[in-house]
Amino acid sequence: MEKPAVLKTDGSDFPDVLDYQSGFGNHFSSEAISGALPPDQNSPLICPFGLYAEQISGTAFTAPRKLNQRSWLYRIKPSVTHEPFKPRVPAHEKLVSEFDRSNTSANPTQLRWKPVDIPDSPTDFIDGLYTMCGAGSAFLRHGYAIHMYAASKSMDNCAFCNADGDFLIVPQKGKLWITTECGMLQVSPGEIVVLPQGFRFAVDLPDGPARGYVAEIFGTHFQLPDLGPIGANGLAAPRDFLVPTAWFEDASRPGFTIVQKFGGELFTAKQDFSPFNVVAWHGNYVPYKYDLSKFCPYNTVLLDHSDPSINTVLTAPTDKPGVALLDFVIFPPRWLVAEHTFRPPYYHRNCMSEFMGLVFGGYEVNCYHI
């Protein structure tokens, strides 16, 4: 039987242009080799090219159709063919996923901090992660964590998988080249990328040292906010969200390590092949990126100020209508026009905690922050 072509990279040679598919929540399909997608079935007795069919689910099988998220991957070797997971040694001491009073402390004071320095020692994305704050529990599947990362080198012969929740990554310094099981994503400061729970990925640093923010949510997924009186258009447009196209690596990778985050702890498993061996895939559960400059903000044009929620890009809803587990809100460059009111946004105390980070510009001036 015909074997798939060999496509591989050593992490130092990046394509000049990547192809993407567009849309938010669409059902996508992509194949790196024509004919690799089964035409009539998800899991035929024999897949084209002798590939293995795997389904990755982001929701329960029985979730309502409009909420159900899953994709079918067609890969050269099954993802389960690795050694048993073992606790990572040394342990990562700066990651937190359980936010109860036994292992964390609360402080109601407003806090500010300076950006951390890029480590002098070689530090990849995984080791460069550290938790700033959070609430809830990864084990209870409800809550969130806010992390930051500061990395000085690309991930080498390893991939990361977050079994606790979704990562929303906001680069602040340095471009990220992210290889996923669905394909490749290039993400620069001013863009965001969402890596859903369960997907394996690797982060390379084509421009050198990198730093940024990470929002992690447990037990739910991001979605576009309802627009209400705004109408059919505005804020983040679904067509501006980009997902990768199929790309695969068919090569022996002795000692390749899968690093899995589970319950806030890191575990490792060895395998002798790349996890990025998916030749074709289809579904609506997929990594995606978004260029924040495409966000269409709305603003006050007469008196008083709109609530900051008017700038929501993505939201992670709860079962309580109108209440989010986490909102991702941006304040891009925009006109601030209002009569008979103090121009800067009003001071407010509310039932939600706010974590603000600067991407471009200067703090407390017309800037670009989240």
Three-state SS for 202? strand
Other CB atoms closer than 10 Å to residue 30's CB: what's the count?
A: 22
Whose structure tokens read 């992210």?
Answer: 178
Looking at 142, 305, 340, 369, which residue is catalytic? 305
288 in a labelled binding site: no
Contact 156/11 with Cβ under 8 angstroms? Answer: yes
Beta bridge partners of 318: none
The pair of three-digit structure tokens given for residue 191, joined into one six-digit string: 């863009």
d(CA 8, CA 326): 37
* Phi, psi dihedral angles at 185 (to 5 degrees): -135, 135
Whose structure tokens read 């905690």?
Answer: 353
Classify strands 252-262 and 158-162 as parallel, antiparallel or unpaired. parallel
Whose structure tokens read 């079962």?
Answer: 319
Whose structure tokens read 């407010």?
Answer: 348
Residue 249, class by beta-carbon neighbours within 10 Å (0-12 exposed, 13-18 middle, 19+ buried)? middle
d(CA 208, CA 181): 24
Cα-based angle 124, 71, 291 (whole degrees, multiple of 5): 55
Classify strands 176-180 and 183-187 as parallel, antiparallel or unpaired. antiparallel
Other CB atoms closer than 10 Å to residue 11's CB: what's the count?
A: 15
Q: Is the sign of the CA dihedral 261, 165, 177, 213 positive or negative? A: negative
d(CA 251, CA 157): 12
354 in a labelled binding site: yes
Whose structure tokens read 């067509």?
Answer: 239
> Is 305 among the catalytic positions?
yes
Binding site for homogentisate: which residues? Answer: 363
Residues forming the active site: 305
Binding site: which residues? Answer: 348, 354, 363
Binding site for Fe cation: which residues? Answer: 348, 354
